[in-house]
Structure formats: C-alpha cells, structure tokens
Structure 1
C-alpha cells in the first residue's frame, strides 16, 4: 500500500504558496524561500527530492511544473521520470510524461491508487487537491517546511477540508535561518480526556 505525503512550504500564519520563480505564483511575494536558505535546508530538500516517489498533483501545480522541470533535469532528475498523477477534469493528456490524469470522483480514484503497489505519492503545492485529500482522510503524513514569516495570503494549508486527526513527529530539525522542517505522520484519532 502506498502512502500519501503532503510536502508544503508554509508560513507561520498557515499560508502555502509557491516559493519558486517570480511568475510561478503571483498571489504573494516571490522568492521568499531564497532568503531562508542554508546548508541544513538544502540538505533536507535534497533528501526529499532524491527519494523514489510518484507525484500526485493538482492541475495548476502540474501546469506550472510542466513549464519548468523538463528544462531543469540537473536540479531534480526524479521529477521528470516519476509518474505524475494529476487531478483534473479538463486536461486528459500532456507531453510531459509519464503522466496519468484522474477525473470524476478524484477521492475514490486516489483511494484506489493508494491500494496499488508502487512508490509513495508526494503532493507538492496543489492547495485545492490537498483540501480534498484531507476531507476524505487520505493524507498519511505532512512534511512541512515552516518559515518564520507571515504572508497573509488566501491559500491556507488547514482550511475547509480539515478533519480532526492526531499526528506524531517522526523527524524534525531547525535551520540556522529559523525554518522548521518537521514530518508529522498520522497517529489515529484525536484522543480526549475528561477532567
């Protein structure tokens, strides 16, 4: 069975935005990740990029990545060879391969995909898809990079799709620039105690 790991760059106020090139995401300030880079964060990101995974992406994230990553194979070779599962009701094919397009009942199709053999599925960006995954209890872990900034944007990691769930920390580190890299793995239901 495959796991779904959601990897996000997130601000202190819970905003997820693309931290890449200026035209990638125009909803907030561009390139904010660059000023927080150090050897610790570079090593942590490289470790995640070197894992054998398939990708699960929303259509908008896929469109942005398809413009960028095929020309930058030297940075992340695995992104081009990984199977890219794309949630889209409008796109059915693309030249960036291998790609598989999921439409219709996305949650059901992703639940079935999790039951298949293969590498874990990593979700980057894809704000709307992440809300669907959370709503249907399909997220196995959140691998977050929490930056010491507030962005005030609209795309929140934990928004309307959030359900009550417990998590445990499986890995964490703090960089010299104050970025918290933390992996939260699903740990069942929220436990309560009466007073």
Structure 2
C-alpha cells in the first residue's frame, strides 16, 4: 500500500490530492494570498491616515539634498630670483592669469551644473595660497573639495572627512603644475 500525506509539506511529488479548485488554487495558496492582501490593505490604510495627518509616509518622494562642491584653486606666485630657477612649470604666473583662471572655472562649473542631472551646488571659487588658512577651507560645510592643482601645493587640502577630487588642466586652459607631478 502506497503511503501519501495530505500535502502538508507543499512537495510537488505527492500531488495535490484534489485540494485545488477549478482555477488551480490550493487552500494554502488561497490563505497566503488572502493574508498578504489583508496585510497590504492594512499598510495602505495606515499610510493614508498618516498622510492625512501630515506625516511622511514611505511612499512620499523626498527630494535629494544637493551635493555641495567647493572649488579650490591652489596657486603660488613665485618671485623672480637672479641666477636661480624660480618659475614653476605651469601656466599661471601673474595675478591676471589667476583672475582669468577663476573666471574660467566659474564658467565651466555653471555649464556643468546644467548638465549634472542631479542636484549640485557649486560654492564660489576659493584660492589656496601658502598664507591662506587651510582650516577654513577643509572645515567648510562642502561635501566635496574640487581642487584645481594649478601652481600651488595640494597635499594640505586632502582630508579624509570629505570627497577630494584633484583637477588638472592639460589642453582646456593653462597647463597645471600638478598635471606634471600628480
């Protein structure tokens, strides 16, 4: 005599023993579907009630916080020294060169913001020079430091507390010193 059970394990080898209806639904399948539907309806009702009271529901889309980027132009102006190698490799040698580079950066970032596809806020360009207060730059509330390694030192700006991106120019403007040494 062959032993069979009433399908309590859900095993397909034992068959359904006539426990399905005309649509192929078992009793177990019916209770799973009914229980899931009831739970979903209860969650939806609770979410609507919370929404009516002004609470945030899991279904509400919260706009993302914009990424705050601080562009930092690292520059050093070198003084002429007789019979010495005093001019650095790179394209920024005067205050006028630096002012033009700051304007170039502002224009490029304004264009990049329109193409970003995500909320991003570019703060105004800050110049980092040897006499600049480094702590004010790395202590800013920016999420990212976008460091333009022109002719100055960049290592003091690298911090583990923020995302650090080193940008160097080669063909898009005056060549960056850090293009050569990074």
TM-score computed with the length of structure 2 as normaliser: 0.30
Relative to its length, the structure with more strand (as a share) is 1
Bigger relative contact order (CA 8 A; separation at least 6):
1
The structure having more radius of gyration, on CA atoms, is: 2
Relative to its length, the structure with more helix (as a share) is 2
TM-score computed with the length of structure 1 as normaliser: 0.29
